[in-house]
Amino acid sequence: MSDNEVLMKIRDLSVEYKTRLGQVSAVDHVSFDIFKGEILGLVGESGCGKSTMGKALMRMIQPPGKINNGQIFFDGEDIMTYDQHQMRSFRGNKVSMIFQDPMTSLNPVQRVDEHIVEAIQVHEPGTKADDALGRAETLIQKLGIQKRRMNSYPHQLSGGMRQRVMVGLGLVLNANLIVADEATTSLDVIVEAKLADQLRDIREEFGVSLLVITHNIALVAELSDRVAVMYAGHLVEIGDVEAIFDDPLHPYTKGLLDSIPNIKLNEKEELYKMPGEPPNLTHPPSGCRFHPRCPFAMPICAEQEPVLVEVNPGRLVKCWLFNEHAENAETNTEVSS
């Protein structure tokens, strides 16, 4: 895709945390693009760096963590150069976030209308309360919440309704990108499916892009246009959702998909479990971080880190099995659009 169709460019981004056990590279030199109007799924095991990546895109990493390398371009501007005043305007107006547990994100002593009106007035000083309330009511009803619920407190709403309020807070300022961090984890499957439908409708109606961070592979298959797969702080594969599910290239991606329970298993077949455990990121393995668990590991995998290479248009993978494509990759920070 052309640069005109790219909303956010992430280049060579690294995030580290200082711990008593050592320094943890939660996100390690990661590069990818988010296109305008797309839903991009970001998947991987717990601890792979997904949520850290989502927070880094809004520069919300708090000590002892820090972004120590990389650039984040939004509509051509590098937000890593923004001061705190610019970032306060950027958050909400340009990029907003839906967190995993709305009960910890919503103020328990504020009603729904107060949450949304406050968000509008903080980011748009001078907006009259009546005007803000009218916008809030219109948006809430579009999200399938009855007007009378505007006077409810968070504890008076169901889990699905609280998440829709969080979606409303993300949309009320006309953000261009919404980062949904495990937004459906605490919901039952029926409410999860309804929220997924609403996220698709929101994309169509408002033209926003969504970054859906989740470990739920089935949700990604249903909701996303493209999928990015992370492992131990590295981006190991990215491409069209159908292509990745039909033909996973990276051994880790294949292992993730094989781990999905299959109701068609006969009584003699066993559920697949990926061998080994994710590495300790205070002392990550040399070379490819997946090689200790990889059934296709070669000597070079333990010696040298592979680069992210384009195997097919828009399809990138970080694996020595595809080293014949590496000669066409200028650096591991370049991402073909």
pLDDT value at residue 308: 93
Q: How many whole angstroms separate alpha carbon 280 and alpha carbon 233?
A: 11
pLDDT value at residue 335: 46
Instruction: For the chain, list the domains and their CATH numbers.
Output: 3-38+48-89+226-262+271-328 (3.40.50.300)
Q: Look at residues 306, 316, 307 and name the one whose alpha carbon lies nearest to residue 336.
A: 316
Contacts of 22 (CB under 8 A, 6+ apart): 282, 283
pLDDT tens sequence across 247-297: 999 999 999 998 887 766 666 667 778 888 999 999 999 999 999 999 999
Structure tokens at 191: 């409410």
Q: How many whole angstroms separate alpha carbon 163 and alpha carbon 106?
A: 10
pLDDT value at residue 267: 65
Select the highest-mean-pLDDT range: 24-33, 157-166, 192-201.
24-33
pLDDT surpasses 60 at 47: yes
Prior bond of 64 cis (ω within 30°): yes
Question: Cβ(22)–Cβ(283) under 8 Å?
Answer: yes
pLDDT value at residue 195: 79
Return the amino acid letter for 12.
Answer: D
Mean pLDDT of the chain: 87
| Average confidence (pLDDT) over 214-240 | 93
Structure tokens at 250: 């990276």
| Average confidence (pLDDT) over 187-196 | 79
pLDDT tens sequence across 66-123: 999 999 999 999 999 999 999 988 998 899 888 777 677 788 899 988 888 888 888 8
Report the predicted TM-score, pTM, of the whole model to 2 decimal places: 0.88
